[in-house]
Amino acid sequence: MPTSIIERYKRILSGDQKRFSPYEFENIQFRKKKIQLVLRYAIETVKQWTPEQAREQLTMKDVKELKLHLVSEFIEPPIEAKADDVYYLVEYAYPYLPRPTEAQKVLWVYQEVLAGKRKHFPLHYFQSVKGEERAKICFEYMWKELLQVKDYKDLPRLFYKTEDAYSILRKFKLKILVDSLYFSPFDLVTEMYPDLADPLLWEEGAVKEILLQKK
């Protein structure tokens, strides 16, 4: 029975047993339940935390001390997780805990990249349809919040010169979008906002006229 795993886990914590049997999690039918039982015992009984406290306070050091690496190997980290993140173990143990939205997760990653907490975006982060959605969330945050542009229709005046466009993307850590997803800054903008694909909007004279109209 899955509940008997707690007795084996207690022996591991006390040092009487080194690890779980290689066959412990072989039965897929009971694997998730067993892992959840171990995680919940460690959180609620050993650490005496609430699930919410655990999500905020659990560290890699705790995981090692609680021998939770013996079960974490069966849990696939979310793409956003850094090497030392363990919050997702708590979320695995308590599926009912509120989760951030996809947009919130993307902005968390992007803001950590901007702040230097991450050297780069996760591997393959901007691939597939979901990757395109992440790219647009980051790009919109850049021009709305960081560049303070009020209307997407003003984007051609910032991006019509290729060297200026690349400079902006490098500054705000989004050159990877062109490197991995789009052919050029022009392609990036017009794929996200198809009504900006009119070549006339990107001619230098047209951009200057728009700027004059705004004065």
Query: What per-residue confidence (pLDDT) applies to 204?
Result: 59
CA atoms within 13 A on the CB side of 187: 10
SS3 101: coil
For residues 192 and 153, is the Cβ–Cβ distance under 8 A?
no
pLDDT, one tens digit per residue, over 59-68 is: 999 999 999 9
Determine the average pLDDT of the residues in 201-211: 55
Determine the average pLDDT of the residues in 5-30: 90
- Whole-angstrom Cα distance, residue 91 to residue 97? 7
For residues 158 and 149, is the Cβ–Cβ distance under 8 A?
yes
Query: What per-residue confidence (pLDDT) applies to 28?
Result: 84
List of residues 6+ apart from 178 with CB closer than 8 A: 166, 169, 184, 185, 187, 188
Dihedral of alpha carbons 152, 154, 183, 116, sign: negative
pLDDT, one tens digit per residue, over 157-195 is: 889 888 999 999 999 999 999 998 999 999 999 999 999
Using the structure block, give the residue that is written with the tokens 């009984």: 45
pLDDT, one tens digit per residue, over 19-72 is: 998 888 888 889 999 999 999 999 999 999 999 999 999 999 999 999 999 999
